[in-house]
Structure 1
């Protein structure tokens, strides 16, 4: 094989939940296929509930940190994925990327209710992002196929 992993950037505004989960899932599910990064335009700390629900699924994102998209401006990405769900959110403009796609997910940090209801929202988004990342690869029409194995 010998092909280099595809460099993928996951973007959302704060780089605290969705893009962090996507980066974690890509490292976990697509090792050797994707080289994942995440960033935002107004980075905050990685949300503790994002860390918690990912750990429940066996993925450790506790070492990841929120980054401003400008920190990655020197990297040429094969793919940038914007994850903001609503038109009310300003999804970052991707830096240099060969292909850009949008796959919106609700922001679990905006969930309201009891702790269990908020955790349920984080788990729902975690699982939606897992399913999306698991499907990345074969459908990336950027000059070559990426497959698991």
Structure 2
């Protein structure tokens, strides 16, 4: 089984959202983890946006990258503007992909405006997860 690490510095929304979508699309084909440099609670609007898509990320936790320092990953996907060289792992992942998504946590306005930003990122991340699954796992081909 392949191993995928999704990285976001703050590890509070985008990384868990991609973890959720990849876990959904790749089911028994890959083990997906997410981590970052800072441990923060998963944002409740990220959880809500994902639940609206019937993906439950409530069980995911924000984890520090140091927890995975010695693990071997086939893929590492960076979902913010962190440089791959800034991430310290004992074993370099087979494939490193930098695919930053806008940070929905920066959305301003009413609670509904903020939720809309999380929904939009949720949809973008789902599209990317499907593209990744098709490209690297020949899913749906």
TM-score, structure 2 normalization: 0.89
- What residue in structure 2 maps to residue 121 of structure 1? 117
Report runs of 4+ in structure 1 exceeding 6 Å deviation.
Answer: none
Q: Please, what is the CA RMSD of the aligned residues? A: 1.8
- The question of 1:14 aligning with 2:10 is answered yes
Deviation of the 1:93 alpha carbon: 1.5
Alignment partner of 2:75 out of 63, 79, 93:
79
Deviation of the 1:29 alpha carbon: 1.6
**Residues 22 and 133 in structure 2, CA contact (< 8 A), matched pair in contact too:** no
Paired residue secondary structure (1:105) = coil
- What residue in structure 2 maps to residue 93 of structure 1? 87
> Residue by residue, what CA displacement relative to the aligned partner does 1:120-148 show, whole Å, maximum 9, x if unpaired?
000000000000011113433xxxxx233
TM-score, structure 1 normalization: 0.85
Task: Report how many aligned residue pairs link the two structures.
Answer: 137
> Residue by residue, what CA displacement relative to the aligned partner does 1:63-110 show, whole Å, maximum 9, x if unpaired?
00000000011210001011104xxx6775162311101001000111
Which one has the bigger helix percentage?
Answer: 2
Q: Which runs of 5+ in 1 are unaligned?
A: 141-145
**Residues 83 and 102 in structure 1, CA contact (< 8 A), matched pair in contact too:** yes
2 CA distance for matches of 1:108 and 1:148?
Answer: 28
